[in-house]
Amino acid sequence: MKKILLLLSWLLVSTGTFADKGIDFASKPFIRAIEKEDLNGVSDLEELQFSDDVPTENIHGKFFQTRDENRQSPVRYAYVGRVNSCRTGGCAAPGNITGEIGYEYFDYFILFDARGSILQTKVFNYQATHGQEITARGWLKQFDGYSGKNDLRVGHGIDAISGATISVYAITRDVKEKTQMLQQWLRTSISQK
**pLDDT for position 147:** 95
- Average pLDDT over the chain reads 77
Backbone torsions φ then ψ of 165, nearest 5 degrees: -55, -50
Integer-rounded Cα radius of gyration of the chain: 19
pLDDT at position 180 over 50 = yes
Q: Return all residues near 156 (Cβ < 8 A) that are at least 6 apart.
A: none
98 vs 123 pLDDT, higher one: 123
Q: What is the 3-state secondary structure (H, E, C) of the chain?
A: CHHHHHHHHHHHHHCCCCCCCCCCCCCHHHHHHHHHCCCCHHHHEEECCCCCCCCCCCCCEEEEEECCCCCCCCCCEEEEEEEEEECCCCCCCCCCCCCHHHEEEEEEEEEECCCCCEEEEEEEEEECCCCHHHHCHHHHHHHCCCCCCCCCEECEEECCCCCCHHHHHHHHHHHHHHHHHHHHHHHHHHHHC
Q: What is the pLDDT of residues 110-120, one digit of tens each?
A: 999 989 999 99
Residues 82, 85, 91, 95, Cα dihedral to 10°: 70
Q: How far apart are CA 60 and CA 69, in angstroms?
A: 26
Q: Which amino acid is at 170?
A: A
Model confidence, pTM: 0.77
Q: What mean pLDDT do residues 81-104 have?
A: 62
pLDDT at position 93 over 50 = no
